[in-house]
A and B are shown apart, each in its own frame.
Chain A
Amino acid sequence: EAGVTQSPTHLIKTRGQQATLRCSPISGHTSVYWYQQALGLGLQFLLWYDEGEERNRGNFPPRFSGRQFPNYSSELNVNALELEDSALYLCASNPSSGSYNEQFFGPGTRLTVL
């Protein structure tokens, strides 16, 4: 069974640009979570999507947004990039709505903002 996949592996942008990150969950998983892992700050919860709807978001500004497609894949968009947005962005999936257990993580997208 294929795990969670993310693309691209690395992304380099300049300040003010927009970044789009993609995630494909494990087959059969309907929930997708996004996390930011910045150096020294651990993993911070960003967004949770389930059945195409945004269910919850962490303490991040509105320029962090995303969506979930009918096939349950997801996209994270970061607008007006700032230097401090440089981080590893992790996507995780799990099988069912309302169950936060056993989230399976992808390898992440390393975003560098210059």
Chain B
Amino acid sequence: QQQVKQSPQSLIVQKGGISIINCAYENTAFDYFPWYQQFPGKGPALLIAIRPDVSEKKEGRFTISFNKSAKQFSLHIMDSQPGDSATYFCAATIQGLIFGKGTRLHILP
């Protein structure tokens, strides 16, 4: 019940395409859902986050879609660029972030 399941494990997208990463959770007590971006050799950096009372949040090319009834949320990266190539983690909070296992995204130039 504490898990956050993330898919896919890896993703290859052409430059300019849309990258979509999905996460699902079970615990309805989670109240904050961030996405983190991690480059090799660096710690994760907060990218965008959403609360369950909102169905969508957009910041630049990054959008979170949240489906409370399905207990799913997803990250969409529009106009994907080679600089977006990184590992992305979804997470949910309950006294410490519970992370998904990550998606390694590679954008082809």
Q: How many chain A residues have a CB neighbour from B under 8 Å?
A: 24
A48 to B97, CA, bound (A): 10
Residues of chain A within 8 A of B89, CB atoms compared: 42-43
A14 to B99, CA, bound (A): 29
A42 to B99, CA, bound (A): 7
Interface residues of B in 89-105 (CB under 8 A from A): 89, 93-102
Q: Are A56 and B96 in contact (CB under 8 A)?
A: yes
Which one of B43, B93, B94, B98 lies within 8 Å of A101 (CB-CB)? Answer: B93
Shortest CB-to-CB span from B64 to chain A, Å, is 14
A27 at the interface (CB under 8 A from B): no
A35 to B89, CA, bound (A): 14
- Residue from A56, A103, A107 having most chain B Cβ neighbours under 10 A: A103
Residues of chain A within 8 A of B102, CB atoms compared: 42
Residues of chain A within 8 A of B100, CB atoms compared: 42
| With contact pairs A101-B93, A102-B49 given, residues A45 and B98 touching in the complex (Cβ less than 8 Å) | yes
In this complex, what residue of B is CB-closest to A43? B99
Q: Mark A18-53, 1 if CB is under 8 A from B, else 0.
A: 000000000000000101000011111100100000
Q: Mark A45-71, 1 if CB is under 8 A from B, else 0.
A: 100100000011010000000000000
In this complex, what residue of A is CB-closest to B43? A105
Shortest CB-to-CB span from A74 to chain B, Å, is 14
Q: Are B96 and A48 in contact (CB under 8 A)?
A: yes
Residues of chain B within 8 A of A44, CB atoms compared: 99
B17 at the interface (CB under 8 A from A): no
Residues of chain B within 8 A of A48, CB atoms compared: 95-96
**Residue positions of A touching B, CB distance < 8 A:** 4, 33, 35, 40-45, 48, 55-56, 58, 90, 92, 100-108
Can you sample 5 A-B contacts with CB below 8 Å? A33-B96, A43-B89, A100-B97, A101-B93, A105-B36
